Structure formats: C-alpha cells, structure tokens
Structure 1
C-alpha cells in the first residue's frame, strides 16, 4: 500500500516537472521569436522588463524615451528660446517656426505652452499632480499611480529632450479643436507627430494628449502618419 502511494507521489512529481519544462520551452521560444522579429525593443514592449538608459547612438530625432527608457544623465541639448520664453532643441526650431507660420496663415491662433523642461521642473509637475489627487482623497500610493497616467516620470519625459512641445490654442481667437485638427492633419509635413494618440495608449502607457507633438523628422513622420504608427511601433518596424 505504502509502495503504491509512493509510486503515485512520484508520478505526480513527474507530471509537475513535465509541465514546468513545457512552460520553460514555450517562454524560451517566445523570447527567441520576438528577438528575431524585433530585437530588444520588442522584448521590452512584450515583457515591460527592467528599465534601461535610452539609446542615443542612433539618429537624434528618433531617441525613444518612455517608462522603460530613461534619458542618460550626461544628455545635453542646445536650446533656442521662443518669443514667449519657452525653449526647444535648436535643431527643431526651423520646422517648428514654419509649422506655426503656416498654421497662423490658415487663421489659427496657437502657441507653445510647454517646451523644454529640466528634471527639476518635471519632478515639480509630478509632485503637484500627486498632491492634487491626495487632496481629492486618494492615498499616497493611489495618487502616485493616477498621476503617472498623465505625467511622465522625471527622467522619462520627452520634454527633457527638447524635442517635444505642448501646443495650445488662444481660445479667445479660435477653438482648441480647430488647432488639434489642423495639427493632426498637417504636423507630419514639418516632421512632427502626435506622440500619444488615443488608439495607442496600450503601447505608450500615456493617455490621449492631442496637444503633445514630438519631432521625429519629415521622413519618419510621413511614414508614421501613413501607416498609423506611434514611435515605438515605427522603431520596431524600421530601425
């Protein structure tokens, strides 16, 4: 009787071992598949694994900064100051200026509400949003989680690259919707893309921001517009 019980127990262990081995093989195969298909970036998007420093070895206009890719501590940018005091990477200024000139010629009143930010400024924005949710009755943990749905974690904001701008309308002269629609239809012509569209939140992890535009260059912007790709998808497919 005891011998039979030991036999059943041994068989049970073997069954569990087979299941674990099968799972290991499946996971290994999945990793190999995604590595071949899209490289490390695809793996990061599938598993959302450990954070790493953003790759700055490629084209400057295609640097990926998000929750998984932090801006290098030694990252430097040459800035140009706009008429309202906001600043942007000097390399995007000519196209940004042309886009604004053409938008204004089309009867729109718009301005850059936010350009370049320091880490300290990004941290202050995050702290203010957390405090706002705490004042609404959220716990500190809940407030932080909600804040991170709308505010980039310091060190992961594209504003810290100087390549992104938040564009708003002077609503005393035109509507925000008119500005957002014009940008959505035309920004790619100048090398800018809507960075956080509504249908890509599962990839970007940032809620819809129709005012947030990122410079990626005219060629990339045209492809992203034509194929409805966000930056993460574009880099997986073309880089």
Structure 2
C-alpha cells in the first residue's frame, strides 16, 4: 500500500490509532533552554563510510552537518508533524506497543526543514542581540537555545522528541516516567536509540536528553543497546581512527528563568 494512502487510512481511524503527536507549528517553535558545560577533549567519530552510505546511520552533530542537498520523502501525520516515511511503520509499532502496555507516549517534535531551523535560529540571534549581549557572544548564546541550521538531527526526519503525557516537562526527570523507562528498555527493538545518553555528552557534544530518540535501523540499534555505545562510537568501531576534538561547549537541558520548558500543548491522537 502506498505510504501516503496508508497514513490517510490510519488518520481516518481516530478511535483505533496509536500515535500521539503535537501540532507542527508549536513543536517547531519550542525552544529548549540549555546550560553550557565545558568538557574535556572528546573522541568524535568521523562520518565513516557506513554513515555516508547508509541513510539509517547518517551522523549529524555539532561537527557533522546535514549533507548539502539532502532530500527525503516525508510521511505527513494528521496533525502536521512529519517523519522520514521509511521509519513510519517502526514508529507506529513502537508507540502502539508502548500504549498497549498501558502507557501514553507523546511525540512532541519531529522533522524540521532547513528553512524552519534557520528561521528559529535567526530569530533567536536577533532576540539575544536585542538583549544587550556583546556581539562576539551573540551566536554562541543563541546556539544554547536553538541548534544552528544543519546541526540538528530533526532536519533528517530520523529524530523524535517523545514525552510522557502525564509529565511533559523537558528535563532530566523525564527519565523517571514509566513511558521513558519503557522506551529506554524497548526502543532498540524497533530500530530506535536514546541518542544523547547522560554519560556520553563529551562524545556527542549534546547534554543528556532523555526524550530524544533517533532511528538507526534494527540491527544497529540492537548493537548500540547491547554494547552501551553512542552513535559516534558505533560508527568509529570499524571505521578510521576517531579524531580528537578540542574542549567543546555542550548543550545541557535545564530550566530557564525559573520556569520549565514543556512539550507543546494540544496533542491529539491520529
């Protein structure tokens, strides 16, 4: 069945569907606050041959940008959120099984276009500049809140932010929810990994995000889960010797201005 016809069929079955998602506009506009942390020199895996040839293993991080001209076919969900159409069925299966376990996961952010990421970043740069931050620190300060265009996994269509319906705050306590415990234990069976583990920040360049899942395919996800490595380490295991990067400032999830960031409201089942 054609993927788009398949999605429309599922969208028509509102009472039996299993994906819980949030509106695109809200998800795209959400800014997750971060606290900068300086980490020691990190071994960063180069984008080896596997990562270049296998779409499932595409490496995107602060040191590896989305390839120029990168294009994918998107599966559009009923509320407007989109994912790479090749991961839709596995995502559906994962969230279906999670819900059958009596849980209620919500996908609150998915694919973002280059234009959307650029707009979000430029808007943040403008607001930071207007706040009086010295010009030589404006872009670095803005990047604490919004990833620079080309460095966000959300631009690949392979990344998702998933939260518990009963706790939609994007902070480290998300890991204590039953939904995240289930996903952390079972997501690999469907080809997904927890992309930014707490103990790998010096390698990924990103602080702990217990809500951010990345599709890498079932075989790679099983290996990554079994060995406890992150994607950068996995890609470097059989590739060229990893490069050493200087100390970097990583993004660490945290509340801003005394408030917590929450997932977009208005989630709806499709």
Relative to the length of structure 2, the TM-score reads 0.62
Does structure 2 retain, via aligned residues, the 8 Å contact 1:130–1:143? yes
Counterpart CA distance in 2 for 1:67 and 1:237 is 20
**Shift in Å at residue 149 of structure 1?**
4.0
CA-to-aligned-CA distance 1:27-82 (integer Å, 9 cap, x gap):
xxxxxxxxxxxxxxxxxx65899xx9x98641110011122222222211000012
- Residue number in structure 2 paired with 1:209: 209
Which is greater in Rg? 1
Does residue 64 (structure 1) correspond to residue 59 (structure 2)? The answer is yes
Does structure 1 retain, via aligned residues, the 8 Å contact 2:43–2:203? no
- Residue number in structure 2 paired with 1:37: none
Secondary structure of the residue aligned to 2:180 is helix
Structure 1: gaps spanning 5 or more residues: 1-44
Does structure 2 retain, via aligned residues, the 8 Å contact 1:70–1:156? yes
Secondary structure of the residue aligned to 2:80 is coil
Counterpart CA distance in 2 for 1:143 and 1:189 is 42
**Shift in Å at residue 181 of structure 1?**
1.9
Secondary structure of the residue aligned to 2:107 is strand
Secondary structure of the residue aligned to 1:235 is helix
With over 3 angstroms needed to count, the CA separation of the structure-2 counterparts of 1:56 and 1:195, relative to structure 1, is: closer
Q: 1:121 aligns with which of 95, 116, 120?
A: 116
Structure 2: gaps spanning 5 or more residues: 1-41, 240-270
With over 3 angstroms needed to count, the CA separation of the structure-2 counterparts of 1:167 and 1:135, relative to structure 1, is: farther
With over 3 angstroms needed to count, the CA separation of the structure-2 counterparts of 1:121 and 1:227, relative to structure 1, is: same
With over 3 angstroms needed to count, the CA separation of the structure-2 counterparts of 1:73 and 1:217, relative to structure 1, is: same
Counterpart CA distance in 2 for 1:209 and 1:46 is 20
Q: 2:143 aligns with which of 112, 137, 148?
A: 148
Structure 1 residue ranges, 4+ long, deviating more than 3 angstroms after superposition:
45-49, 54-57, 127-143
- Residue number in structure 2 paired with 1:218: 218
Secondary structure of the residue aligned to 1:209 is coil
Superposition RMSD on alpha carbons, in Å? 3.0
Does structure 2 retain, via aligned residues, the 8 Å contact 1:149–1:207? no
- Residue number in structure 2 paired with 1:184: 184
Counterpart CA distance in 2 for 1:146 and 1:220 is 35
- Residue number in structure 1 paired with 2:81: 86
- Residue number in structure 2 paired with 1:104: 99
Q: How many residues align?
A: 192
Does structure 2 retain, via aligned residues, the 8 Å contact 1:86–1:112? no
